[in-house]
Structure 1
């Protein structure tokens, strides 16, 4: 029993210390027997965080490139710290890149749910408008393909979703779920067979190898300052409102269902980004509720407990006030109220 208690997975984590303007590196240890964490400062050679349980963090949250919110700090996992951990988790924590081509929000939601149900979690997501240069880079292996000129014309200037997917053998699993590039030849039940129409409008593009996936992810989700100049967000800031899919709903795989509900309710998602909100920023965001709503502390802790998805929502009927009408769709903040009032449609989970 003692041996099992000490069993652990080891990772290298980085934290940007704003006050010192430097990156600090740590060993981040995860103990699966009780879901606890420990951090060791590599420079100062001392324990930085003693073994503690952090709500919302399990082994599923660990993969190379992920960002974890640990006791007020955003820690980026950059590598395995030992070969034993690498051998055990390398395949289980594989990442890949997928791009949802221009399609209705409802179909995008169904595709996200399809990925989730087959073991692929969405860990990064952003809506962007592609330029011709973006298309050339993302389709660099298909530049000589006869369909490429049509792809270039179809995608340039259009809104798409970029995804980072994590799961066991993510690259091969994703490609299998998509099916053949030609929807007419794709196996029944695959994404392209279900929602595609031809080799250009076949719903999803995905990386063919792990190496290509890393390159695509680096391009689509670049670090600062490139993230402000490349594949920028697509907010219209006109007759719109903000919708946040909270961390618990993202963890539970409900993002796809939320997108479907938004579309069916008469709204469009005009901008989207998956982000991690620090505790201090969550407190500022909810400041208007401080001292008024008893759940204020819990609201702050929930919003900063993991990745959330921020969306700009616009009513399809331009004559409507988006903020007012969308509140009707979302319903009361208390799910119990939704049930007791027998509201037929609500985004409350």
Structure 2
């Protein structure tokens, strides 16, 4: 099974959308294996968004992600990275499909509610930034046999 990092960004926390976002991911058959609310430091934000450092929106991105608490999660399932990205929708809420988290709930490109790893390799790096191995739980759900072959 594949794992991926998901962050409910400060706008999602402030708007009270955490439960709805979790429910959408669970309904797709993904399994939550790690969860915590945290305040991202500037140092952690810089490491997380290092590939954007030379881009003009970098400072605003760092200011936003550190502006309030986030909910960090690890989800597990078959093709978890692709499934999460499909459920999230396009980065720009104006082009995100109806039925996706961003298409239904996000209001602005800069405040688009949710982050999900964009590749399995990136997921490994991001999960290690936000969680220790002791914080990730391996367990069997009773419904798993009805979700997976």
1:199 aligned onto 2:148: no
Deviation digits for residues 260-299 of structure 1, max 9, x if unmatched?
xxxxxxxxxxxxxxxxxxxxxxxxxxxxxxxxxxxxxxxx
**Structure 1: gaps spanning 5 or more residues:** 1-92, 228-250, 254-349
Q: 1:200 to 1:105 in 2, by over 3 A?
A: closer
1:214 aligned onto 2:124: yes
Q: Deviation at 1:174?
A: 0.8
Equivalence for 2:5? 97
Scaled by the length of structure 2, what TM-score is found? 0.82
RMSD over aligned Cα atoms: 2.1
Q: Deviation at 1:205?
A: 0.8
Task: Map residues 37-116 of structure 1 onto 2, 5 A cutoff.
Answer: 93-102=1-10, 103-104=13-14, 106-116=16-26
Deviation digits for residues 224-269 of structure 1, max 9, x if unmatched?
7xx8xxxxxxxxxxxxxxxxxxxxxxx589xxxxxxxxxxxxxxxx
Look at both structures and tell me which one has the larger radius of gyration over its CA atoms.
1
Q: Deviation at 1:104?
A: 3.7
Equivalence for 1:151? 61
Distance 2:101 2:41 in 1: 25
**Partner of 1:152: helix, strand, or coil?**
helix
Deviation digits for residues 27-74 of structure 1, max 9, x if unmatched?
xxxxxxxxxxxxxxxxxxxxxxxxxxxxxxxxxxxxxxxxxxxxxxxx
1:118 aligned onto 2:28: yes
Runs of 4+ residues deviating >2 angstroms: 103-106, 140-148
Equivalence for 1:306? none
Equivalence for 1:263? none
Q: Deviation at 1:193?
A: 1.3
Distance 1:130 1:164 in 2: 16
Question: Which structure has more RCO (C-alpha within 8 Å, separation ≥ 6)?
Answer: 2
Distance 2:67 2:14 in 1: 16
Q: 1:120 to 1:217 in 2, by over 3 A?
A: same
* Residue from 66, 88, 93 that aligns with 1:183: 93
Distance 1:142 1:169 in 2: 26
Q: Deviation at 1:145?
A: 3.5
Scaled by the length of structure 1, what TM-score is found? 0.37
1:168 aligned onto 2:78: yes
**Structure 2: gaps spanning 5 or more residues:** 136-140, 144-149
Higher strand share: 1
Equivalence for 2:147? none
1:142 aligned onto 2:66: no
Q: Deviation at 1:176?
A: 1.2
**Partner of 1:162: helix, strand, or coil?**
strand
Q: Deviation at 1:143?
A: 2.5
Q: 1:147 to 1:94 in 2, by over 3 A?
A: same
Q: 1:222 to 1:200 in 2, by over 3 A?
A: same
Higher helix share: 2
Q: Deviation at 1:148?
A: 2.3
